[in-house]
Amino acid sequence: MFAAIGIVVLLALVFGGFVLAGGALGPVLAALPLEFMMIGGAATGAILIGNSMHEIKLLGGGLGRVFKGPRYSDQDHIDAIALTSKLMKMLRSEGAVALESHVTEPGSSTLFSEYPKLQADPVVTGMICDPLTLMVVSSGTLDTHAVEDVIDASIKTQLHEMDEPAHMIQGLADALPALGIVAAVLGIIKTMGAIDKPPEILGHMIGSALVGTFLGVLLAYGFASPLGGRLKQINTHDQQIFHSIKQVIIASLHGYPRPLVLEAARAGLPPAHRPKLTDLLDMMRGR
């Protein structure tokens, strides 16, 4: 929502200010299509050269998240803590056998079905179920630090994939000014081939060439760089759900009291989205 509003504001004020300063939009708009084709085509080609189809699909999904917002809401973070806490409570009180059907078949689990959005998310279910499945097959005898290492490796892999689109967008932002210069140089080459033309024609051609430089800088610092920064913010918000799941599992395996387990998970959430500990405890008592 804010990304779309920001784009409108950016375009309105940049071009509006140009017009109010006495500039003529006609020559700029006339040059934009071809300049955009050159710069955008070069950027698209560079992305295709430097990435596989998997990374390109990740880029498309990342751009979609910029406009849709975080994948996980505040309630999803709370639900992940609650679900993992209930599973760990079952492991402690009823043993690994009782937990087995829930973590090996989360799609048919009655516990997971209480949280349908999380149940339908393979990333979250995998983050919860994979380490708990290890606990089940080992009858709960695994060393806690070994389980933590496995979870850390899983989180690291997931975070790398989530952050890859943001890195691609930032790399594109770094390249766009240079691609704008390429388009401008081609315009100057064209102008030099018509050096015998009247000054008014040469002025028009030089102005059209400079649109390439303008467009490259505008796309880099007005669009690509802010989009990449926003995607990093969204990823930072979404990534906390994995750390909360980890904290519940590890703190429970260490045998900490349930309030301390919940606080360990809650403390990792961003302050603006962090529920009160008393509210979280009250909610868990009702379950």
> Taking a C-beta distance cutoff of 8 angstroms, is the pair 58, 222 a contact?
no
Nearest to 186 by CA among 202, 218, 210: 210
pLDDT of residue 140: 61
- Give the separation between CA 86 and CA 188, rounded to whole angstroms: 68
CB atoms within 10 A of CB 131: 23
Which two tokens mark 164? 């890859």
Q: Which of 172, 174, 165, 171 is nearest to 55 (CA)?
A: 165
pLDDT at 257 (0 to 100) = 87
Structure confidence at residue 171 (pLDDT): 93
User: Is residue 127 classed exposed, middle or buried when 0-12, 13-18 and 19+ CB atoms within 10 A define those classes?
Assistant: buried
Whose CA is closest to 77, among 229, 228, 246?
246
User: Given this model, what pLDDT does residue 92 score?
Assistant: 86
pLDDT of residue 276: 78
Where exactly are the structural domains of the chain? 28-287
Q: Mean pLDDT in each 10-residue stretch from start to end of the chain (287 residues)?
A: 88 92 87 91 93 92 91 90 91 86 90 93 93 83 86 92 93 94 90 84 85 94 94 92 92 87 83 77 66
